[in-house]
Amino acid sequence: MNELNLTLENLNPVVIWGANNEYFEIIKKHFPKIKIVARGSDLKVLGDEVEINTFNLKFTEILNHADRFQSLNNNDLEQILGAKISLNPETEANSPRNGGGGDPIVFGPNGIVVKARTANQRKMVDSISNNDIIFAIGPAGTGKTYTAVALAVRALKNKEIKRIILTRPAVEAGENLGFLPGDLKEKIDPYLRPLYDALDDMIPAEKLKAFLENRTIEIAPLAFMRGRTLDNCFVILDEAQNSTDLQLKMFLTRMGPTAKFIVTGDVTQIDLPRKQQSGLNNALRILGEIKGIEIIYLNGDDVVRHKLVKNILRAYGDIQ
């Protein structure tokens, strides 16, 4: 029988074991073939070598998560314990499915680990702690929306906010919404589909359905923000280059005292009618020096789609 002894360093045992040892019991249930004994900050594990090694890998992930976020909840724990273990941890950590290298932002269903994969995505993660409004500007495929949604989901899971609101300008792209079949939701959902896709990666289907039904997560066109005060929530305005100056001003002034806003956009892909100017460029020009607002520019080095996407963007002149 093999033995592994560990000590929790710089971590409160209550964070790891949970109130009344709730998390400790969950961990034990995931490893029925080994004996786990915890006394305060000390941990002893007895059992087969392979089982102990598997436990050690998972427990290290738990400790890393708790150390980074100074918190742990049931969902985080279940996602970490349920994620697949690779025989080659270095390769697995850098796989596209698991978000490349770097610290996890959020753990999704089916073993998905969402991470900041590039330097500028990591800037987004680091900046949200010190700023209440972030502008993430860059070409298609740089992960700006996906990273923003991950930060919102993390804040919700950590109970830092009560709601997530995701919004986009409903630009018809050549079609008039009034002539499209279906009710309002059916008409606008195609424009909001990328936001749903990101959420699908981060929240189990049944829980996401419940969040949408009870409006813990709200996805709506930008026009629906008018007249509201958005407080105790994490709000993302996606495709902001397709908002006018007045629309963007309207959106930013909806912000309540305890809200976080992320505005994403690509100034090279403006779909507004020719007579209308995007409000995003003006906002970037006049708001950059305000304390609490951070502007982050993503570029070709941040493209995380197919390797050809970067070359396509370069050919069109969207990146250098």
Domain definitions of the chain by residue range:
2-82, 113-315
DSSP letter (8 states) at residue 241: G
- Per-residue burial over 292-310, b if 16 or more Cβ lie within 10 Å, else e, is ebbbbebbbebbbeeeebb
Residue 301's alpha-carbon distances to 95, 102, 310, in angstroms, are 17, 16, 8
Three-state DSSP at 35 gives strand
- Mean pLDDT along residues 92-101: 42
CATH superfamily of 2-82: K Homology domain, type 1 (3.30.1370.10)
pTM above 0.85, yes or no: no
Rounded to whole angstroms, how far apart are CA atoms 146 and 142? 9
User: pLDDT tens digits, residue range 240-254?
Assistant: 999 999 999 999 999
Rounded to whole angstroms, how far apart are CA atoms 197 and 202? 9
CATH superfamily of 113-315: P-loop containing nucleotide triphosphate hydrolases (3.40.50.300)
User: pLDDT tens digits, residue range 136-169?
Assistant: 999 988 999 999 999 999 999 888 999 999 998 8
pLDDT at 23 over 70: yes
Residue 105 φ then ψ, to 5°:
-90, -45
